[in-house]
Chains A and B, each alone.
Chain A
Amino acid sequence: MEIPEEEFLAPGHRACAGCGATIGVRLALKMLGENTVAVSATGCLEVITTPYPETAWKIPWIHVAFENAAAVASGVERALKSQGKDDVNVVAFAGDGGTADIGLQALSGAMERGHNIIYICYDNEAYMNTGVQRSGATPYGASTTTSPYGKESFGEDKPKKNIPMIMAAHGVPYVATASISYPEDFMKKVKKAKETDGPAYIHLHQPCTTGWGYDPSKTIELGRLAVETGSWILYEIVDGEFKVTYRPMQRKPVNVYLESQKRFKHLADEEKERIQNYVDQICAELKI
């Protein structure tokens, strides 16, 4: 695949060293190109990229609040349409909290209305901007500052909310999951999303060195382990047609993924087994 050289997110942004979110945004923007308007929800990405009087964005960009990226994007899209600028891509970036929790209503509304927007959820599985609090996308067993492990707790006690499937249930013509560790797969999906007439939703898995507790150099490795263990599955749903886009040659035990992160370090064998069983069950259904 030909990957455009041009960068639309400038360096000098204030992300942590080894940030996965900025990798995801860089790759997405390469595919979307300069004829794009970006909307950000409040969160890490918004804060690190626009420290006034500077901005890392080389394309037009707007941030309004935490829970309304999809609604703002709706307004931007229609306003561009009213000006005859139908060819401009409108992309919204929101974290897992801004998508699965506080932003779900606005997202549901925008998707159901069928706006021609691309919504990319950069999922680092907790509220990282405020210091690693549990979100609806936090996986089972993860210790966060609001779901800490302790004498009577093994951390988060609910599985991850399945947002891509909720989006698919809206009849969104293009839904996909992706990982920053599989850039070609992700970028192809962004291209398809761009070419989709109507809304597109991409759920991008993105390791976070600060929140997950691993060495910053391992960001890509962690994303890869998530996929290779079946903890995160890469698929797309095109007009309702489900297809797995990447199958690990041989699925690794989930333990490899869990043990390389501080947030799962506390887990007893019993909980790890429960996670493995959960992953096995999903992978069996999808023949992974």
Chain B
Amino acid sequence: MTSIGATVKEPGSSKHYKTGSWRTFKPILDKDKCIDCENCILFCPEGCINKDYDIDYDYCKGCGICAEECPVKAIKMERE
């Protein structure tokens, strides 16, 4: 069954779909190097890095923007 007008009543329900499987390269953060600049948090297209800099690999597509934008190179991209 499709809801009336194909309305979706569960906000943010795309979280049920894990895009982590799209990934070829995985970002690994070295928290010791991290200077808490928030670049990776702000620039993540998935919004899947939290304020404690934990990367949610369920959703990370491995685009590598975080590694590219890290001013101290604390994030490395490793092949899955």
| A adjacent to B, CB under 8 Å | yes
Q: Chain A interface (Cβ within 8 Å of chain B)?
A: 3, 5, 7, 9-15, 17-20, 22-23, 26-27, 49-59, 180, 183, 209, 215-221
B51 nearest in chain A by CB position: A5
B59 touches A220 (CB 8 A): no
Query: How would you classify the secondary structure of chain A's contact residues: helix, strand, loop or mixed?
Result: loop
A53 touches B14 (CB 8 A): no
B63 touches A12 (CB 8 A): no
B residues within 8 A CB of A9?
47
**What would 23 A/B residue contacts be, using CB atoms closer than 8 Å?**
A5-B51, A11-B14, A11-B15, A12-B16, A12-B19, A14-B14, A17-B22, A18-B61, A22-B45, A23-B43, A53-B8, A54-B10, A54-B16, A55-B12, A57-B11, A216-B65, A217-B63, A217-B67, A217-B68, A218-B68, A219-B65, A220-B69, A221-B68
Could you say which of B8, B43, B46, B47 contacts A54, with CB atoms under 8 Å apart?
A: B8
B1, chain A: closest CB distance, angstroms:
10
B1-38: CB near A (< 8 Å → 1, else 0) gives 01100101011111111110011000000000000001
B40-67: CB near A (< 8 Å → 1, else 0) gives 0011111110010000101101111101
The size class of the interface chain B forms with chain A is 35 or more
Which of B3, B18, B48, B68 has most chain A Cβ within 10 Å? B68
B64 touches A215 (CB 8 A): yes
How far apart are the CA atoms of A70 and B26 in the complex, in Å? Answer: 40
Which of B3, B47, B48, B69 has most chain A Cβ within 10 Å? B47
B64 touches A12 (CB 8 A): no
- Apart from the given pairs A11-B46, A18-B61, 18 other A-B contacts in the complex at a CB distance below 8 Å: A5-B51, A10-B14, A10-B47, A12-B16, A14-B14, A17-B23, A18-B45, A18-B63, A19-B45, A22-B46, A22-B47, A23-B44, A26-B47, A54-B17, A56-B12, A220-B43, A221-B68, A221-B69
Could you say which of B18, B47, B61, B68 contacts A17, with CB atoms under 8 Å apart?
A: B61
B residues within 8 A CB of A18?
45, 61, 63-65
B42 touches A183 (CB 8 A): yes
A residues within 8 A CB of B3?
53
How far apart are the CA atoms of A15 and B59 in the complex, in Å? Answer: 11
B2 nearest in chain A by CB position: A52
Could you say which of B6, B14, B38, B42 contacts A13, with CB atoms under 8 Å apart?
A: B14
A residues within 8 A CB of B61?
17-18
How far apart are the CA atoms of A209 and B64 in the complex, in Å? Answer: 12
A residues within 8 A CB of B14?
10-14, 49, 51, 54-56
How far apart are the CA atoms of A209 and B10 in the complex, in Å? Answer: 30
Could you say which of A5, A10, A20, A59 contacts B15, with CB atoms under 8 Å apart?
A: A10
B15, chain A: closest CB distance, angstroms:
5
How far apart are the CA atoms of A57 and B47 in the complex, in Å? Answer: 13
B61, chain A: closest CB distance, angstroms:
4
A29 nearest in chain B by CB position: B47
B63 touches A17 (CB 8 A): yes
A residues within 8 A CB of B8?
50, 52-55
How far apart are the CA atoms of A11 and B22 in the complex, in Å? Answer: 13
How far apart are the CA atoms of A11 and B2 in the complex, in Å? Answer: 23
